[in-house]
Chain A
Amino acid sequence: DQQVKQNSPSLSVQEGRISILNCDYTNSMFDYFLWYKKYPAEGPTFLISISSIKDKNEDGRFTVFLNKSAKHPSLHIVPSQPGDSAVYFCAASVLYNAGNMLTFGGGTRLMVKP
């Protein structure tokens, strides 16, 4: 039972254009939605997150949107740069007293072409 899904395994975008990475979830109990970026041979690094009570969070070129009725978080990168090429994981978090339980999607490989 995949509670978090990323249906696009890969995405190719031209430098300077917008990259839109999509995610879907099924569990209404998630507290936060997070995006992680992963380069080969490195661990995932946190990019941006959004609370389940918000619909938008922006940090520089990165904006995360949450369509709660559709259970659909998305990450927008604009303008896209070649250095953004990486695998992006959508994750959903349940907070509890001792920490956070993250459930990850399968990832989307973004390729930004110069």
Chain B
Amino acid sequence: DSGVTQTPKHLITATGQRVTLRCSPRSGDLSVYWYQQSLDQGLQFLIQYYNGEERAKGNILERFSAQQFPDLHSELNLSSLELGDSALYFCASSVRAVAGRNTGELFFGEGSRLTVL
């Protein structure tokens, strides 16, 4: 158990709809990351939040948005869904980078599997 909690585990919806995926990071972690894994491919970085603020952005579509709340949980909002958005969405968290102790490790949740029909 990584300590990162994601809900829902599975979600089936139709094209054009909007969904929200939720992530609770490990206790004490300030950074939350969202990754997308499509069709047994590698994980693609979407976006990172640190203590409520957006800190890094990857190849995230304009139809997607995220936020991190004061209690540090994060939500990923996916709108105007298309068939190609079907994927596993992973949330990960990490401690703030501390020189000499941070190896770059991220702790991943079990993912939310989104199916768009």
Closest to B9 in A: A41
Residue A107, interface by CB 8 Å: yes
| Residue in A34, A41, A105 whose beta carbon sits within 8 Å of that of B104 in the complex | A34
Known: A32-B104, A43-B109. A98 touches B96 (CB 8 A): yes
* Number of chain B residues whose Cβ lies closer than 8 Å to a Cβ of chain A: 32
Q: Are A51 and B110 in contact (CB under 8 A)?
A: no
| Residue in B31, B43, B45 whose beta carbon sits within 8 Å of that of A89 in the complex | B43
Main secondary structure of the interface of A (DSSP, over half): strand
Q: Are B42 and A89 in contact (CB under 8 A)?
A: yes
| Residue in A44, A51, A98, A104 whose beta carbon sits within 8 Å of that of B103 in the complex | A51
Q: Are B2 and A98 in contact (CB under 8 A)?
A: no
Q: Are A41 and B40 in contact (CB under 8 A)?
A: no
| Residue in A31, A44, A98, A107 whose beta carbon sits within 8 Å of that of B90 in the complex | A44
Q: Which of B43-67 contact A (CB under 8 A)?
A: 43-45, 48, 50-51, 55-56
Residue B72, interface by CB 8 Å: no
Q: How far is the CB of A114 from chain B (nearest CB, A)?
A: 24
Q: How far is the CB of B25 from chain A (nearest CB, A)?
A: 11
Q: How far is the CB of A104 from chain B (nearest CB, A)?
A: 4
Residue B114, interface by CB 8 Å: no
Known: A43-B110, A51-B103. A100 touches B43 (CB 8 A): no
In the assembly, what is the distance between CA of A32 and CA of B50, in Å?
20
| Residue in A6, A42, A95 whose beta carbon sits within 8 Å of that of B97 in the complex | A95
Which A residues contact B (CB, under 8 angstroms)? 4, 6, 31-32, 34, 36, 41-46, 49, 51, 87, 89, 93, 95-107
Starting from the known contacts A46-B107, A96-B97, A99-B50, 9 additional A-B residue pairs (CB-CB under 8 Å) come to A34-B105, A43-B92, A43-B108, A43-B110, A49-B105, A51-B103, A97-B96, A100-B97, A104-B42
Please give me the 5 A-B residue pairs with the lowest Cβ-Cβ distance, nearest first: A93-B104, A43-B108, A98-B50, A32-B104, A99-B31
